[in-house]
Amino acid sequence: MSPDLGRSASVSASKMRYQMNRLRRMAATFELQRETSLKKHATAILLSLYPDGHLQERLLGGVWFLARYGDTLPDLLIEHAAQECPGHRVLYL
């Protein structure tokens, strides 16, 4: 074998190692960003459901909604409760 062939193989192996390490770094960075994004979304959902670590219905009483939206709120709630689909429903006020 010629020495040039050995050097060429060594250079090729070095380039392959560099590319594999680069791919590993890119995959690790992507995974870290994905986990961070998922954690941020999960925290936002938990803060929406549990403000100050408590359930919403225990933290915000019905009187607060009456004071904010007035006497039309009970009529609106009755109207939406009378619909045919039972279960939880989101009302945008």
Query: What per-residue confidence (pLDDT) applies to 41?
Result: 95
Mean pLDDT per 10-residue run, the chain (93 residues)?
86 96 97 96 86 69 82 85 73 76
Those residues with Cβ within 8 angstroms of residue 86's Cβ, 6 or more apart along the chain or in another chain: none
Question: Following DSSP, what letter does each residue of 23-89 receive, concatenated?
Answer: HHHHHHHHHHHHHHHHHHHHHHHHHHHSGGGS-HHHHS-HHHHHHHHTTHHHHHHHHHHTSS--S--
Query: What per-residue confidence (pLDDT) applies to 73?
Result: 87
Residues 51 and 45: their CA atoms lie apart, in Å, by 10
In this prediction the pTM is 0.47
For the chain, which residues make up each domain, given as ranges?
Answer: 3-57, 61-93
